[in-house]
Amino acid sequence: MSAPTSDRFNEEQQTYTLRGSDTPDLDAGVAAIRNVLQTLPQRSGVYRMQDAKGDVLYIGKARSLKQRVANYTQIKALPKRLQRMVSQTRSMTIVTTNNEAEALLLEAQLIKRYRPAYNVLLRDDKSFPFILLRADSDFPRVQKHRGARRAVGNYYGPFASAGSVNNTLNALQKLFLLRSCTDGFFKTRDRPCLLYQIKRCSAPCVGRIDKADYAELVGDAKDFLAGKSTQVQAKLGAQMQAAAEAMDFELAALFRDRLRALTFVQGTQAINAEGVGDADVFALACQDGLIGIQAFFIRGGQNWGHRSFFPTHTAEVPEDEVMTSFLTQFYEEVPPARTILLDRELEEGELLAQALGDAAGYKVALSVPQRGDRRRLMEQAKRNAVEALERRLAESTTQAKLLREIAELFELEGPPDRIEIYDNSHIQGANALGAMVVAGPEGFRKGQYRKFNIKGNEAATDDDFGMMREVFRRRFTRQMEENPDRDDASWPDLVLIDGGRGQLNAAKTVLEDLGIEDVCLVGVAKGPNHGREGREVFHLMDGRELTLPVNAPVLFYLQRLRDEVHRFVIGAHRDKRAKAMGASPLDEVPGIGPARKKALLMHFGTGRAVRNASLDDLQRAPGVSAAVAQQVYDFYHAR
């Protein structure tokens, strides 16, 4: 469901504008909407409401655009939330579609792109993992997969988490001995690897199994992932019995171990899902204005994990509308199961099923279980939804208290909504980079983390203060360019810097040069003699230093923030260092691909030898044409 809009819909996009003051004004909003109504068609489509700056406030779909948009001019009939939206509306953008189902899909796409302030939003930064059984080799590989599905093969999922995928991959290795190594590793083996020794691979790389027998294992794995584990179990039992009767006890023991692994998997994955087949299960819970949705993923009667979601912007929105909006956004990235089980009837259920089926290319059915295994599974999902919501409320209460204490500690105007934490990493100036992590009332916002590659011509890469100045200059210069009015959530309420007075002053100097005086900066130093945790010293902008009791909850929270930026920057630095270790001087030569680079290095031995080679020597290298040789020679000598 993530194909580009222009590929799926016949667009008739028109923008209608009535400019006015930035100040919310119901009369101005209604006037802007009525101006649009004059030329709106009686067709299905999607409308975007925008404020005076052009920022999208709300995205909606309609069977009849003219009738739907006209409702926004009836102010007394609108809830307070929509009245506020209308008061900010100054322009609209209209896109017509062929039918209402297409409009529903387009609405989900646009909500994900623009993240409007008045739409229910599914906040989930991670894509769902799948298992991929490749089909581009005589000995297919089984692997974990995220992202676009370009590789040829069978995809199984979604799984709720990486842990669920890893557990299933482990089971597949134990049960079917399929290879998980990369093609490059597979082609270069001359003896079995450790996975063969621990009976998790059949070692096709060195001929310990032929193509036909491996294909049989692949077929069994497909049956297992399709929910036919009982057939696989019966087949393994028969093979074990036959091996024992043939006095081949070693082979019988291998089948016995695989049977044990299958029995274990059946005991851990089939959680009240027997007889359900393939289904996605959703249950909603609401308490104190917060909504939580629990999702179970069932494939072939096996539970492939569950996950809790907490949509935002749900205040004053009916639960039915929240669930519908959630499902359309959820299935924007994930292919739907043929059966979707819900804990309630949806007003637009038939339309949603049609839209999901049209996008997926097969029939999708929405139903509310009434009895049997499906009803018991739904009751379990409801219990999980309530329990997850209660945990979320307890955590948010604790988090709110911590943020209030932070506001008091650092004398902020109120609890911070956005906290940015900065750190640098390098080894004697090599592979230097800075990092920023972001936290808020709901926890870490990993989708907003940033890395800053620091080059020698920008800052002294062995100077922590210079690196910090460079990071802050780039970060806040861009902020001033993109949002000088500081009227959105991208500006921090509090900035923590891993370091002492020197790092704090470096950052403070940059902000002063940019004319930014209202961002609170705090340096977090390790304390006297870089002592153990609990002795941290907090350096404030006015020169004061604070310490906290070693058992203070707010200290533990600040340590978590500092540790998270440590983890992120060290991991990023490690990745950068590993990439640099595998770099070659030939990487800088334009137009030289991996094959020609390998040919040159194999012929000359080193990158330095290539650089010093004459044009005649380069032309004699195998696989290198005269044009390429001239290009390499010019790169190193025509300077």
Residue 52 sits in a domain whose CATH number is: 3.40.1440.10
Asked if residue 9 belongs to a domain, the reply is yes
Asked if 469 and 574 sit in the same domain, the reply is yes
**d(C-alpha 87, C-alpha 85), whole Å:** 5
- Prediction pTM value: 0.65
Asked if 433 and 520 sit in the same domain, the reply is yes
The ranges of the chain with pLDDT < 50 are 2-8, 10-12, 20, 269-270, 457-459, 461, 531, 582
Asked if 358 and 431 sit in the same domain, the reply is no
CATH of the domain at 485: 3.30.420.340
Asked if residue 252 belongs to a domain, the reply is yes
Asked if 153 and 242 sit in the same domain, the reply is yes
CATH of the domain at 603: 1.10.150.20
What pLDDT shows up at residue 2? 44
Asked if residue 124 belongs to a domain, the reply is no
**d(C-alpha 571, C-alpha 579), whole Å:** 12
Specify the 3-state DSSP secondary structure of 507.
Answer: helix
Last residue of a domain, one of 269, 296, 324: 269
**d(C-alpha 247, C-alpha 252), whole Å:** 9
Give me the count of residues in the chain: 639
Smallest Cα–Cα separation from 126: which of 536, 430, 444?
444
DSSP tag of 371 = S
Asked if 386 and 328 sit in the same domain, the reply is yes
Asked if 575 and 589 sit in the same domain, the reply is no
Last residue of a domain, one of 535, 561, 580: 580
Residues 6 or more apart whose CB falls under 8 angstroms from that of 371 comprise none
Asked if 462 and 477 sit in the same domain, the reply is yes
Last residue of a domain, one of 204, 238, 269: 269
DSSP secondary structure letters along 196-243: HHTTS---GGGTSS-HHHHHHHHHHHHHHHTT-HHHHHHHHHHHHHHH
Q: For residue 309, what are the β-bridge partners?
A: 293
Residues 6 or more apart whose CB falls under 8 angstroms from that of 69 comprise 33, 36, 37, 40, 47, 62, 92
**d(C-alpha 448, C-alpha 488), whole Å:** 14
Asked if 427 and 522 sit in the same domain, the reply is yes
Give residue for tokens 């209402």: 100
Q: For residue 291, what are the β-bridge partners?
A: 286
Asked if 453 and 368 sit in the same domain, the reply is no
Asked if residue 447 belongs to a domain, the reply is yes
Tally of domains within the chain: 5
Q: List, in sequence order, every beta strand (DSSP E) within 526-582.
A: 537-540, 545-546
Specify the 3-state DSSP secondary structure of 522.
Answer: strand
Could you count the other beta carbons within 10 Å of the beta carbon of residue 115? 14
What pLDDT shows up at residue 587? 61
What pLDDT shows up at residue 3? 41
Domain span including residue 630: 585-637
Tokens describing residue 285: 């819970």
Asked if 469 and 503 sit in the same domain, the reply is yes
**d(C-alpha 569, C-alpha 563), whole Å:** 10
**d(C-alpha 124, C-alpha 443), whole Å:** 12
Asked if residue 400 belongs to a domain, the reply is no
**d(C-alpha 47, C-alpha 85), whole Å:** 14
Asked if residue 409 belongs to a domain, the reply is no
| Cβ contact 421:498 at 8 Å | yes
What pLDDT shows up at residue 447? 84
Question: pLDDT of 355-413, one tens digit each?
Answer: 999 988 899 999 999 888 888 889 999 999 999 898 888 877 788 889 989 998 998 88
What pLDDT shows up at residue 85? 92
Asked if residue 609 belongs to a domain, the reply is yes
**d(C-alpha 575, C-alpha 423), whole Å:** 16
Asked if 479 and 561 sit in the same domain, the reply is yes
| Cβ contact 472:511 at 8 Å | yes
What pLDDT shows up at residue 453? 82
Asked if residue 411 belongs to a domain, the reply is no
Asked if 264 and 283 sit in the same domain, the reply is no
Smallest Cα–Cα separation from 570: which of 376, 425, 472?
425
Question: pLDDT of 306-315, one tens digit each?
Answer: 888 999 888 8
| Cβ contact 123:149 at 8 Å | no
